[in-house]
Amino acid sequence: MKKILKEWNKYLLKEVSQFRDIMRILSGDRGTVFTIGMMTPENPNATQLPQEENDQLLKDFERRLKEKQLGFRKIRGKFGNKERSYIIPNIRRDEIVELGKEFGQEAVIWGEKDEEGKMIFSYIEGDRTLQQRDVVLTGDDIDARTDFYSQEPGGPEKHSITYPKKGKGKPLTRTARKFVIPFFDEEYEIEDESEDYIPEEPSEELQEEFKIRLKRIFKENATQKSRLMNRKILKYRCLKD
C-alpha cells in the first residue's frame, strides 16, 4: 500500500507541475516566452479521421516543428470530439498561420505579450484575426466541464479519478485541471463599443459569411469542433453586425 501511495503522489506532483507551467506560459509569467501558438494537426479540413491517421498527423506535425527548431508542449481537450493539441512557445504569427494552412486547420490561436507583459490571444481563421481575448479561465466550473475545454496532457480523461478503486486504504481523488480561452463569449470582450443586437437586414458581407459557415456546418463528416465554432462565430457576428 505504501508503494501505491508513493507512486500516486509522484503522479499528482507531476500533473500539478505540468498544469502550473502551462498556466505560467498562457498568463505571460514565463520570462523567456513572448509569443505562443496553439493548434492541432488532427482532422484536417474539419473532417473526422480514424485515430491511426490522426496519430500519423501528430508525428508529421512534431517533425515539422523540429525542422523549424520550435519546441512544444502537448495538451489535450474536447471540442465535440476529443482532440490532441500543442502549445508552441516563441512562434511567429505567420509561422502558426502557415502551419494551420499546411495541416488543413480552419483556425489557429496565437498569443503575444502586450507592453504590460499580459498575453493577448488571437483567434485566426486563414490570415484573418476574428477576435482577441486577454483571459484564460480555470477553476471548479471549468474543471467540471465535459466538453469545450483544454487540459494538461496526462491525467484522467473525465472530471476526476479515484485511486485505488479497490483494496485497503482511503481512496484518493484527483480532479482534472482544465482551462478555456473564452472566444466568442460576450462576457469576456476586451472592447465593446457597440450595442448588441440582431440585425434585421444583414450586410452583404455577413450574408456571404453565412453561406460559407453554413456550408461548413452542414458538411458531411464535419467535426463537432468545426460545427460548434462556426455556430458560435455566426452568433457573435450577428450580434456585432
Q: How many CB atoms sit inside 10 A of residue 108's CB?
A: 24
Report cis status (omega within 30 of 0) of the bond before 153. Answer: no
Region of 221 please: left (phi>0), alpha (psi -120 to 50) or beta: left
Task: Give the span between the Cα atoms of 47 and 33, in whole angstroms.
Answer: 33
Cα 101-51-213 angle, rounded to 5 deg: 40
Element of type H or E holding 178: strand 178-179
Delimit the domains of the chain by residue range: 2-184
What is the model's pLDDT at position 209? 85
Please give the model's pTM, rounded to 2 decimal places. Answer: 0.75
Question: pLDDT tens digit string along 116-138?
Answer: 899 999 999 999 999 999 999 99
Torsion of CA 22, 28, 31, 33, to 10 degrees: 70
Task: Give the span between the Cα atoms of 147 and 232, in whole angstroms.
Answer: 14
What is the model's pLDDT at position 11? 43
Question: Which of the residues in the chain have pLDDT under 50?
Answer: 4-15, 158-165, 172-173, 192-198
* Residue of 228, 233, 236, 234 whose CA lies nearest to 196: 236
What is the model's pLDDT at position 77? 92
Number of residues written out for the chain: 241
Q: Which residues contact 51 (CB under 8 A, 6 or more apart)?
A: none
What is the model's pLDDT at position 73? 92
What is the model's pLDDT at position 183? 94
DSSP letters of 89-144?
ET--HHHHHHHHHHTT-S-EEEEEE-TTS-EEEEEEETTEEEEEE---B-SHHHHT
What is the model's pLDDT at position 221? 85
